[in-house]
Amino acid sequence: MVPLLDLKLQYNTLKSDIDAALLRVAASQACILGPEVDALERACEQYLGVRHAIGLSSGTDALLLAYMALNIGPGDEVIVPTFSFFATAGCVSRVGARPVFVDVDPVTMNIDPAAVERAITPRTKAIVPVHLFGQSADMDALMAISLRTGIPIIEDAAQAIGTQWRDGRRVGSIGLMGCFSFYPTKNLGAFGDAGLITTNDDELAVRLKQLRNHGMEPRYYHAFVGGNFRIDAIQAAVLCVKLPHLESWHAARRANAATYEKLFIEAGVSSAPGVTEFTSSELVLLPASVNATAEAPNHHIFNQYTIRVQNRDAVRKQLAERGIGTEIYYPVPFHRQQCFAELGYTDASFPISNALADTVLSVPIFPELTSAQIDEVVTAVCEIVRG
């Protein structure tokens, strides 16, 4: 038995501190924003190395708020990778703009800067790299495009809180804004929905805070329309307990990834990343992981450990029969989603994302996983794939 994730293990190690924080909020009855949220925001500013961190209701709302803050709307375009979680693109449609899909890099599975370049038009209002699975997109190439064109970068760092780019900066602090999620399965998870938006721009921060609360400033005066994107104190209190442990959890995930890589290689599986054609000689492709991180040890925080296998759906089913939990992030790229059919995209423009959608399989990587469990997963994958 190897579950994909077991949140109870983490809770049990922090139980007394978390329970005390929950009771503190209960006693205070300061339920929304307030001192717990201020404490979380200051701690996140310090950890992420940003001037402003603003607590929000979810990662989805962070993206929505980022688009609203830039007045993105009808007639505008926002460039996003077609291979990501739905919110990255869904929020573009929600503000009335057009999401423009581009393909991803086969090694990192992150947005391809050359494809971004080709997708830019006079209507492009933002570029949204997603640091998928906890690995940074190519921020040097993207920031160069942003500098040259003046188009802002909004980082979808929902899966990558703490990931460092090559120069040591944390993702979410590099573009104009960074969007984070504290959904319970993320590396830093709350006890429900919560999120964060970051920026180094002082004026933008004022606007984001105002938008978070119906555009209200002062009380009951609204110069522009915002929404209720506030974070609950109870989530902030839990997150403040967890944040000091985040680096050790990242380290445990990286160690687990290194163990996977070692065991898969010992089992004779290819570790060559970035193979665009999934030939029959490649049984299992591992993520570009441990070796690639040599120069910046935090380059990947492994929110997911995503391998690529042939006959993925059958492999997944057999793993489930052996009690091994897996998930497919993500089976349907945006250009294949029914809700985006009217945008008129065809499969031919997205060969890498299509190949990934058909082959990716995320296996257990949570910090408390044991080496014996990793061995069980590797053995099972190899036996199943080899028949």
Q: Which of 25, 33, 41, 59 binds ligand PLP (CB under 6 A)?
A: 59
91 and 197 Cβ atoms separated by less than 8 Å? no
Q: Which of 41, 156, 232, 261 binds ligand PLP (CB under 6 A)?
A: 156
- 32 pairs with which residues across the strands? 232
Cβ proximity to ligand PLP: between 54 and 87 the closer is 87
- 198 pairs with which residues across the strands? 53, 178
Q: Which stretch binds ligand PLP (CB under 6 A): 155-163, 262-270, 337-345, 350-358?
A: 155-163
User: Would you count residue 158 as binding ligand PLP (CB under 6 A)?
Assistant: yes
Q: How many residues does the chain have?
A: 387
**Could you give the CA distance from residue 101 to residue 118 in angstroms, rounded to a whole number?**
11
Non-local (6+) Cβ contacts of 214 within 8 A are 222, 225, 226, 227, 228
Closest contact distance (angstroms) between CB of 223 and ligand PLP is: 27
Cβ proximity to ligand PLP: between 60 and 293 the closer is 60
- Where in 249-288 is the site for ligand PLP (CB under 6 A)? none
Q: Which stretch binds ligand PLP (CB under 6 A): 80-88, 242-250, 275-283, 377-385?
A: 80-88
Q: Which residue is nearest to ligand PLP (CB)?
A: 59
182 and 196 Cβ atoms separated by less than 8 Å? yes
Nearest to 385 by CA among 249, 240, 281, 252: 281
Q: Which stretch binds ligand PLP (CB under 6 A): 17-25, 58-66, 293-301, 344-352?
A: 58-66
Q: Which of 85, 165, 249, 350 binds ligand PLP (CB under 6 A)?
A: 85
Closest contact distance (angstroms) between CB of 172 and ligand PLP is: 12
**Could you give the CA distance from residue 239 to residue 181 in angstroms, rounded to a whole number?**
11
Site string for ligand PLP, 175-214 (x = CB under 6 A): ------x-x---------x-x-------------------
According to DSSP, the β-strands at 305-309 and 284-285 are: antiparallel
**Could you give the CA distance from residue 363 to residue 110 in angstroms, rounded to a whole number?**
19
Q: Which of 82, 88, 304, 354 binds ligand PLP (CB under 6 A)?
A: 88
**Could you give the CA distance from residue 5 to residue 325 in angstroms, rounded to a whole number?**
8
**Could you give the CA distance from residue 81 to residue 353 in angstroms, rounded to a whole number?**
9
User: Would you count residue 60 as binding ligand PLP (CB under 6 A)?
Assistant: yes
- 124 pairs with which residues across the strands? 77
Number of residues counted as binding ligand PLP (CB under 6 A)? 15
**Assigned token pair, 263:** 């065991």
Cβ proximity to ligand PLP: between 303 and 373 the closer is 303
Non-local (6+) Cβ contacts of 198 within 8 A are 44, 45, 48, 50, 52, 53, 54, 172, 173, 177, 178, 180
Closest contact distance (angstroms) between CB of 294 and ligand PLP is: 26
User: Would you count residue 362 as binding ligand PLP (CB under 6 A)?
Assistant: no
Cβ proximity to ligand PLP: between 62 and 315 the closer is 62
User: Would you count residue 87 as binding ligand PLP (CB under 6 A)?
Assistant: yes
Using DSSP, state whether 170 is helix, strand or coil: strand
Which residues contact ligand PLP by CB under 6 A? 58-60, 84-85, 87-88, 130, 156, 158-159, 181, 183, 193, 195
